């Protein structure tokens, strides 16, 4: 019977070992399940992060597109500004030139106006002098006619006196 008690002990020990191994296997299985769930959870979070990354990349791409669009718009407005500034400079130069021409025209008008006034004064002086000369010449002509007439009359008188009667 000693055999049987050792056998039973050995059997019990094997049973305990089997139960321990089963328990260890169950614990390992539970650990595997927990690890699987943990990995699945991490994988789900990772996929969620990937989706968020993709969304952020799309937003970044959209913002880069908007930035590019705004840069293009700024460049367009800058070019338009440069063209407008050049036109403004040209117009300012034209205005300056027109103002110079206006001043020159006014100066010429003033000069011509003074020349016309001097000419008018000279014409008036000439007219007055001419009238005076005409009057003097009339007076002189009248004097000459008078003196000729007097001379003729004297000659006639003298000839009348010298004529045989």
Q: Which residue has the tokens 């117009």?
A: 91
Give the mean model confidence (pLDDT) for residues 20-30.
Answer: 94
CA distance 111 to 113: 5
Half-sphere exposure of 50 (CA within 13 A, CB side): 6
Question: In this predicted structure, what is the pLDDT of residue 1?
Answer: 54
CA distance 152 to 163: 15
What separation in angstroms does the CA of 164 have from each of 42, 152, 158?
Answer: 175, 19, 12
CA distance 64 to 35: 41
Question: In this predicted structure, what is the pLDDT of residue 162?
Answer: 62
CA distance 35 to 117: 117
Q: Which residue has the tokens 């009238």?
A: 131
Question: In this predicted structure, what is the pLDDT of residue 85?
Answer: 97
The 10s digit of each residue's pLDDT in 119-163 is 999 999 999 999 999 999 899 888 888 888 887 777 777 766 665
- pTM reported for the whole predicted model: 0.47
Percent over 90 (pLDDT), the chain: 76
On the question of pLDDT at 49 being above 80, the answer is yes
Query: Which has more confidence, 1 or 89?
Result: 89
* Distance from chain centroid for Cα 6: 110
Question: In this predicted structure, what is the pLDDT of residue 2?
Answer: 60
* Distance from chain centroid for Cα 157: 106
> What DSSP letter does each residue of 36-96 carry, written as one string?
HHHHHHHHHHHHHHHHHHHHHHHHHHHHHHHHHHHHHHHHHHHHHHHHHHHHHHHHHHHHH
The 10s digit of each residue's pLDDT in 63-98 is 999 999 999 999 999 999 999 999 999 999 999 999
Give the mean model confidence (pLDDT) for residues 30-39.
Answer: 95
Question: In this predicted structure, what is the pLDDT of residue 154?
Answer: 76
CA distance 74 to 80: 10
CA distance 42 to 62: 29
Q: Kindly report the backbone phi and psi dihedral angles of residue 71, in degrees, each rounded to the nearest multiple of 5, phi listed first.
A: -60, -45
């Amino acid at each position: 019977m000693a055999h049987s008690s050792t056998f039973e002990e050995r059997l019990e020990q094997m049973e305990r070992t089997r139960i321990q191994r089963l328990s260890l296997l169950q614990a390992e299985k539970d650990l595997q399940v927990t690890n699987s769930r943990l990995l699945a959870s991490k994988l789900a979070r990772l996929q969620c992060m990937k989706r968020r990354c993709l969304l952020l990349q799309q937003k970044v791409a959209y913002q880069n597109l908007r930035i590019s669009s705004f840069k293009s718009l700024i460049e367009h407005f800058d070019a338009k500004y440069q063209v407008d500034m050049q036109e403004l400079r040209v117009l300012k130069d034209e205005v300056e030139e027109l103002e110079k021409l206006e001043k020159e025209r006014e100066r010429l008008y003033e000069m011509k106006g003074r020349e016309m006034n001097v000419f008018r004064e000279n014409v008036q002086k000439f007219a007055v002098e001419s009238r005076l000369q005409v009057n003097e010449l009339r007076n002189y002509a009248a004097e000459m006619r008078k003196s000729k007439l007097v001379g003729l009359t004297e000659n006639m008188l003298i000839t009348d006196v010298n004529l045989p009667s």
